[in-house]
Structure 1
Amino acid sequence: MPSILRIKMKARSVFFKLLLSFLGVIVLLVIFELLTYGVFRQSLRDEIIKYNTVNLTNTTNDYEKHYELLEKTMLNLYLNPRLQELNSKPYLDYVAANKVTDYLSNIVSNQALYLNNLFIYDVKHSLMLEKSRGASPESMFTEYYVNPVYTYSFWKKQFEEGGPMTIYPAASYLRNDSPGDTTGPVWPMLVKSRFYPDFMMLAFVDADRMFQAFHRSVNDNFYVLDASGRLLFASGSAADKPLPALPPGQDWVKADNQYFFYTTGPKTGFTYVNLVPDGHISSQLIKLNLTFVAVLLVAIAASVTVSVLFTVRFNNPVQRIVDSIKSLNEQDTVPRHDNEFELIRGNIGFLLQQRHLRHQDLEEKHALLRYHSYMNKLKKIRGLPVAGAEQLSEQKPFRVVLFHLSFNHPFHTEIQAEEERAASYIREYINHVVTKELEGSLTFQIERNQILSIIHPAPEEEDRLRTTLDGIVSVLSTDKAYCFLTIAVSPLHAHTASLTDAYEEALGLIRHRPFDDETVVLEAQNVPQEPFVVPDALMQEIKANLQAGNAANVLQALRRLMAQMEKRKADALAFHEFAREITHKTTRLLHGIGLDSGKLTDLEPEQLHTVSKLDRYFEAMIGEACRRINNKKEAADPIITGATAYVTERYTEDITLDLVASWLNITGGYLSTYFKEKTGINFLDFVNDVRIGKAKELLRQTDLRIQDIAGRVGYQNMNSFNRMFKKITGVTPSEYRRSGTQM
């Protein structure tokens, strides 16, 4: 019985109640976690299925884009001048045929197309051309590429009846000219054009290489079926498994412990299927279960341990208070209580009595405290604002010292602190040092990144001001990887009425600081003010290379300019204006040719403090701009491709708009309008850019006379050549040759 009473007494104690409260909270949290996990586990399987669906969607998109690329590549062959030359003669021109064969070999060698071979069927001459030979269709498919399904009779029928683009099931071909050699599984892809009935294109696409490049899944089980359900390709163990029917409105189905994911290509209508075993998805759920149980057990154990420790730490001070009360109340006039808080509440009267007994003693000591308070007020130990308000009314000469803070990228990535908090710490340090060394100074923060000190130096204290600033530089330079300061010292002013002028002078000094990330002290006599002017010829070269999408040449020219600016010791303002000018010209050029000019880089020129950072900024911005320009140029466009190829190959000849338009079988007016719309420049300007570009190469790399160079690049009149060269480059050919690589 006594033991039961003792247990009941302990159950009413603060320690026991507090521990039970913590345990109750832990139980509630565990229940919440279990409920959350139940909901999460139900949705996890859906997320895994969604992940596999997204993988198959990406695979499908890659396959469909590649089919479209191959189709455009084969359609462009119809416009190739080598093919037109072969078709222009009534007899078989073997020289022209060899040119076509060489061109096919170049296309097949392009690894990005995943081609095993490419054939052109010349209907007029009954000739089949491929990357290494030409032969009759019958010989080609009975002697060189042999397959029991894709025989000569099969292809003859397809040549006569096939549609504009047809892709057939993958198969391997035996190479009789190389005994034992096979092509491996290839997809035959037949392309026809009703505008060019004399030729048909047949590509052998390497199915295995496409699979390795485009397929995304946890295994290699993959199907491709055409619109009629015929199997075109299967990999892994997929070839041995039948496909279950897909329920309407779903993109996956489970059958025989396997998940089958389906998508349909928008261009070809092909059905792509990934097969994922149920065991793979279940294993991920089992791992999650084990991980959750382990984490939950550890969390419960840690929570219980922390609860016990916290309860003990909380109960100990309460127990000491109770012991103190008992020791003070030795007469035990207060009844006994069952828990500690009741005991404390019951002894409040005793404590009030003790307070009354000590009140007189406190009043005597309070008089002493008032005395010290008056002394502090007399000495003006009340903070900087009071002292500053009195100083602003004084008729004393003063200087303004402006501290401008700049934070580097590692400050945000490594320290991950707020700039405002760091600025407050630096302000407190500067205030401590300046106030200590220069009596009567006032320091306060006026902007997020600016700290201002007003100094009243006596003539003999000027050297102390320099020494104090040097000490601040020495201390803050230790953190130069994270931030640096620009310290601007204004000239001496006679009255505080000139405070605004002094502040503006200090701001001007900061704008002309050196272009680096060192903490420096600037005064009016040591800040260079000579402006830097960018040569027009170099700006013209940058613009021309940017229009051509040549990032390497643009960056080379920019680096030459930055080297000149470094040599001339250009200040930060000049570098920032230069960066803004290049950025503005780049965005204007992109806008002028109809491209998106936004978000070329995440940085702003004002965030750059060194030449290396500015160089990385230009690399990112110019690289992105040229990528957009080149993407537009590389878009499959037979007219632009044909026109630019004609100019770059025949720039030495007499080129006119009507001549190139006639070669492309279109009108000159249409070519002029279309070329301007797609490239952003006039056709004749493009011709002159190509010719002057070739002339610049010859001027730099050869010792030919300028008259000979003009003739080699298509100018028969020296005056026209000189006028156009200066218009594009800004200098004459002779001046360009003399300047060499310094331009």
Structure 2
Amino acid sequence: MKTNWFNRLLLSYLPVFFIITLSLLLMTFLTLSEMSKKASVRANNALSHNISKLIDNKLADIDSLLLYEIQNNEKIKQFFSDNPKENRHYTDIQASSALKELLQNNPNIDSIYLYRTPDRTILTPSTLTELNDFMDSQFVGISLNSRVPYHWTARTLAPQMTDGRNAQRVISLAKNTNLSNLSILIVNVRVESLLGWIASMTDNNSTFVHLNDEHGNLIVSTEAGPDGKTSGMRAGSVLSSSVSEQTGWIISSGTLNGGILEFVSSLFYLWMAIASVIVIAGLTWIIYVSRRQYRPVVTLMNMISGARKASPAHLKTEKVDEFKFIESSIEELLDESNMLQEQHKELSVYHKRHLFLSLMEDGNATANFGKYLEEELSRLGIDQPVSGSLVAIVEIDHYAEFAIQYRSDQHLLKYILGASVKELVENKPFTVWTEWISNSKMGILFLFHQQESQQEVLECCEKLRDWVANNLDFTVTIGIGPLIHQLELTAESFREAVNAVGYKSSLGMNRIITPDHVVSKPKGELFKQLQVFRIISQSFRLGDEKWEDYYREMYQTLEDQLYTHDDLSSLMQVLIGYLQKEMAELTEEPNNVWIRDVQPSLLMALEEETQDEIYNAFYNILKAAFDKLNKLRESKSSHQLMHQVKIYIADNYSNPDLSLTHLSDEFGLNAKYLSRLFREAFGMKFVEYVSDVRMEKSIQLLIETEETIQDIGRAVGYDQSLTFIRVFKKHTGETPGQYRKKNSTE
């Protein structure tokens, strides 16, 4: 009974729906079929025209070849000359050889022979005979007696003309070789060659092509049998034809028999009319059935209008849908109830989060705030007195990758993380309170009620870290603050926990970080790295492989210090700045490589989270760029010379007379030309480069030896100590004495 109304509606509309749908599908199919047929006609027109062009071009090539041989082949010309009969034997042999060569070079030609009219002699590639004894004498006679210009003619050769093979269908052309005595050259081309040309442009599975002569006789067809007859051809309709401009032959093409589909397509307008009638009849039936089924709805509307004290006329005037009205009224009540429940939940969650964040803020350590906290904790179900608190910060490692990988499941995974914390602290002498303080950080507040056990907190955090690493596709780093004995001072523990987790770039990810770990290493200082950055940048620009040693030395210094990710990012940006400054001194091509490829990659590498990841990313990028720049240098013809100059400077920097003039004498080059090559290779002037080499050596001597400043100056090429001190201060910003004193103190 419950499904009776539904069945009635279903049986009323479903058959009509299927009939209309099938009719529309039929109309669509017929329309597409008609469009396909028109497209096929256009394609066949193009095909016929192209095949006609192809055959004309092929036959024209053969015609041109014959004309060329008649006019230029001396062997053939001698055959038709007026030599005495006793002198013709040698010329006949030479002409036969020429015909053989012509056949070998033109596989489309089936046979060729010459006819000399004065002595009625036929010459083939293999025989010399008289016309009366020649098997194809009839065609020779027809050609000689023809009153129309010679043209390509389709015919069948006798078996004797095909070396004993079956009768061969060919197309033949006669060419005049001597107008004075009407001598001719006759060439035969196999019909199979025509078929091959046609087949190369057609699909025999769907398309057929007929080639007929000007009288309508079939020459060749893609559907013809082995005997050349068309009795075995599959039925198909000719869609287009084209007439050859050269031969007058007719090329016809069309599609093969499509069976019942072609029959259906041929009655396109009839089927479209039948389908249209079916659609109109179906729509009429739907309207009729809808009006009939609407009567019970009218009755229900009248009953509802009576209960609502509204007349049917009133409903019609205001166009009120009673079912819609009842449905909307119930939905409004349900929506209002759900909204109130959601608002209550949201307010509770918001209030709890607000209380958590207020507890983590400074400036709340007042007596009133402590009392307020006790009241609010009591509302949250924490009735026991709080003797101490501790804050832990759980940060998701590689959060950018996490956000991309779990675009739609982030909230679920964060909920699982919070639930895991609560599950791990069951039966522990403390209560936990978790809140997400940012997209990547979750704060955990441990509230102690009796005894305060910081070790148990560490164990719970370690279990949480291990569980996430083994069961989820990401890891977390947890920073733990110190134990606080006054609840209103919890912000101190929070601040230390945030500070601890901030150093994970140096200490590593997927671990626990406590304040003890933070104080175990000194904080990193930016300015101590500037000198190393400068040396790295200069070595990198000069193509000196020692830059890798300096880079590793810098990293060892970084490993011994603590950096937050922001500090580390700022530090490496300074290195990028030094490198950018040095690379700007190079020529345009290496500088473009730096700006286009290297610098953007280095800036992108700063998004890595840990110190090791940033170091490795920078090293790989710089190493690839260094190799690429070296290849650019090596591609220059002057690279080997500049390399020798560089070695010479390294060996003779202590020579006070080392100058461009000295080098030009040493290497036999013009000083200005040498200066230009040096700047192109190393991106700096010769004087600056020599000064840098001397200053690096002097710094080494100041640190490693006890020699006087004057002796060190002479050792690096400065006879005057004042000149050495001036250059050193310009290079380092300090005098040699100040530099030695500072570094010996450190």
Q: TM-score, normalised by structure 1?
A: 0.40
Which is higher, the Rg of structure 1 or of structure 2? Answer: 2
